[in-house]
A = this chain, B = another copy of it.
Amino acid sequence: MSQKDAFDLQNFLPYLLNQAAEESSLAFQQVYRDRYGMLRTEWRVLFHLGLYGRLTAKDIGARSKMHKTKISRAVQRLEERRFLTRDPDEADRRQEYLDLTPQGRAAYRDLHAVAHRYDAELADTLTAEEERILRTALRKLARMA
Contact of A17 among B20, B115, B140 (CB under 8 A): B20
Interface residue ranges of A9-32 to B (CB < 8 Å): 9-25, 28
Instruction: Kindly state whether residue A93 has any CB partner on chain B within 8 Å.
Output: no
A59 touches B (CB below 8 Å) = no
Tell me the smallest distance from the CB of A20 to a CB of chain B, in Å.
4
Which residues of B lie under 8 Å from residue A135 when comparing CB positions? 11, 13, 16
- Quick check: B21 and A14 within 8 Å, CB to CB? yes
Q: Helix, strand, loop or mixed for chain A's interface?
A: helix
CB of B112 within 8 A of CB of A126, answer no
Give the segment of A76-84, A95-103, A116-124 that binds chain B. A116-124
A45-63: contact bitstring with B at CB < 8 Å (1 yes, 0 no)?
0011001000000000000
| Residue pair B142, A11 in contact (C-beta under 8 Å) | no
Tell me the smallest distance from the CB of A126 to a CB of chain B, in Å.
5
Could you tell me if A136 and B144 are in contact, using CB atoms closer than 8 angstroms?
A: no
Out of B16, B19, B122, which one reaches A13, CB within 8 Å?
B122
- Residues in B with CB closer than 8 Å to A142 are 16, 19-20, 22-23
CB-CB under 8 A from A8, the residues of chain B are 51
**How long is the Cα–Cα vector from A133 to B47 in the complex, in angstroms?**
29
Closest to A125 in B: B140
Distance between A111 CB and nearest chain B CB, rounded to angstroms: 10
Q: Do A21 and B11 touch (CB < 8 A)?
A: no
